């Protein structure tokens, strides 16, 4: 059995359903209200992995898992800041996550792996996207396929804050890393779902997680 813990409150879920058009902070800087925690190891308490200090969401990086918004979203601009306080490894922003909680849910990942921020990853069979006229989807026994970013890494040095701007509109997703347009996908599936932040390797920090609906 895996561990799933729900954040208190339902304001984020209500926002996703009501068709509101105002910008909202998905992370309130105080706690994980509006989020659920999923960890692969059920013996570990969520507070041992995820914590909030000084308006920053700290992730230990182990065990593997994620925090997931209670609400499901489509057609939005998502902005996230992240940094590696120690040796950088791997993480990601999971977009349009659907289905059961597991490692990993069906979704499209905006990669945060060091020097690969701006890559796409289609996770689980049925997830698809088209980049530069080429269709990508997991095949065979693999649960994911990677689509590299189009430019050299635009990440800041370790210890400095980075900025992700993710634009999801219809069947299209654009990824901007520190203002550099790194990737664009069409014919994306899934087109709506939860937003997740991964625990996947080493400590990583997040702040200023803001969503603005486009409709």
Residues 106-138: tens digit of each pLDDT: 999 999 999 999 999 999 999 999 999 999 999
8 A C-beta contact, residue 129 and residue 188: yes
8 A C-beta contact, residue 103 and residue 116: no
- Asked whether residue 170 carries a pLDDT value surpassing 60, the answer given is yes
Q: What is the DSSP letter of 86?
A: S
Query: What is the per-residue pLDDT for 105?
Result: 98
Long-range contacts of 41-49 (CB under 8 A, 24+ apart): 41/2, 41/3, 41/65, 42/1, 42/2, 42/3, 43/3, 44/3, 45/3, 46/3, 46/5, 49/199
Query: What is the per-residue pLDDT for 9?
Result: 43
Please provide the CATH number assigned to the domain covering 3-213.
2.60.120.560
| 0.75 surpassed by pTM | yes
8 A C-beta contact, residue 50 and residue 37: yes
- Asked whether residue 12 carries a pLDDT value surpassing 90, the answer given is no
Query: What is the per-residue pLDDT for 215?
Result: 75
How do 76-83 and 204-213 pair as beta strands?
antiparallel
- Asked whether residue 16 carries a pLDDT value surpassing 50, the answer given is no
- Asked whether residue 38 carries a pLDDT value surpassing 60, the answer given is yes
Long-range contacts of 171-176 (CB under 8 A, 24+ apart): 173/95, 173/108, 173/110, 173/120, 173/129, 175/110, 175/118, 175/120, 175/149
Q: State the average pLDDT for the chain.
A: 92
For CA atoms 149, 150, 153, 155, give the dihedral sign: negative
How do 35-39 and 204-213 pair as beta strands?
unpaired
Nearest to 211 by CA among 153, 159, 173, 168: 168
């Amino acid at each position: 059995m895996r561990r799933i813990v729900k954040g208190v409150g339902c304001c984020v879920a209500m926002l996703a359903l009501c068709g509101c058009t105002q910008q909202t902070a998905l992370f309130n800087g105080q706690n994980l209200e509006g989020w659920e925690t999923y960890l692969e190891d059920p013996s570990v308490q969520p507070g041992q992995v995820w914590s909030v200090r000084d308006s920053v969401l700290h992730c230990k990086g182990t065990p593997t898992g994620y925090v997931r918004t209670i609400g499901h979203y489509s057609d939005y601009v998502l902005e996230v800041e992240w940094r590696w306080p120690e040796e950088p490894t791997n993480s990601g922003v999971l977009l349009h996550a659907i289905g059961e909680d597991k490692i990993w849910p069906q979704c499209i990942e905006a990669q945060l792996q060091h020097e690969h921020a701006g890559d796409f990853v289609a996770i689980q069979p049925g997830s698809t996207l088209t980049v530069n006229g080429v269709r990508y989807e997991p095949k065979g026994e693999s649960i994911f396929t990677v689509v590299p970013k189009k430019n050299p890494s635009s990440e800041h040095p370790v210890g400095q804050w980075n900025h992700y701007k993710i634009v999801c509109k219809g069947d299209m997703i654009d990824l901007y890393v520190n203002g550099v347009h790194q990737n664009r996908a069409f014919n994306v599936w899934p087109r709506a779902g939860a937003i997740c932040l991964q625990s996947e390797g080493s400590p990583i920090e997040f702040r200023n997680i803001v969503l603005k609906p486009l409709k």
